[in-house]
Amino acid sequence: MENSQIGKIGEEFVCRYLEKNGYTIIKRNYRIKGGEIDIIASDGVYLAFVEVKTRKPDGLTNGFDAVTKRKQRLIVRAACDYCVKNKSDLQPRFDVARVIFDGVKYYKIDYVRNAFDTTGMPFIF
């Protein structure tokens, strides 16, 4: 199974996780030039911009490490674009989900709410 397929499966697991926890999935794979958001979801209070990292159980990186400052800026840029085009009174929040999946067996989801913020970035919501 290719990494892109494993990533899509991981995103599907996170969507199910969010829905089970009272979220509504608004959009998947929101793309602009220079940025992408895997999942945009709402719980009625927050507009969660979710980055999903799917890793194998024996992977060398834990997934959370892959959400670098540069990656965060790209996510925030895409989130700003989304918010300009889709007005909302909900508070934006940036979450990261790590899915442990070996291509056959799903192991777990680690979900971090408010994993990073826009401090020091030239973006205003």
Rama region for 8: left / alpha / beta (φ>0; ψ in -120 to 50; rest): alpha
Q: Decide if 9 contacts 27 (C-beta within 8 A).
A: no
Residue 23 in tokens = 């979220």
State the fold for domain 3-116: Trna Endonuclease; Chain: A, domain 1 (3.40.1350)
Per residue in 48-105, pLDDT (tens digit) is 999 999 988 877 778 898 999 999 999 999 999 999 999 999 999 999 999 998 877 7
Cα distance between residue 49 and residue 72, in whole Å: 11
**Domains of the chain by residue range:** 3-116
pLDDT at position 78 is: 96
Percentage above 70 pLDDT, the chain: 98
Cα distance between residue 88 and residue 122, in whole Å: 20
pTM of the model: 0.92
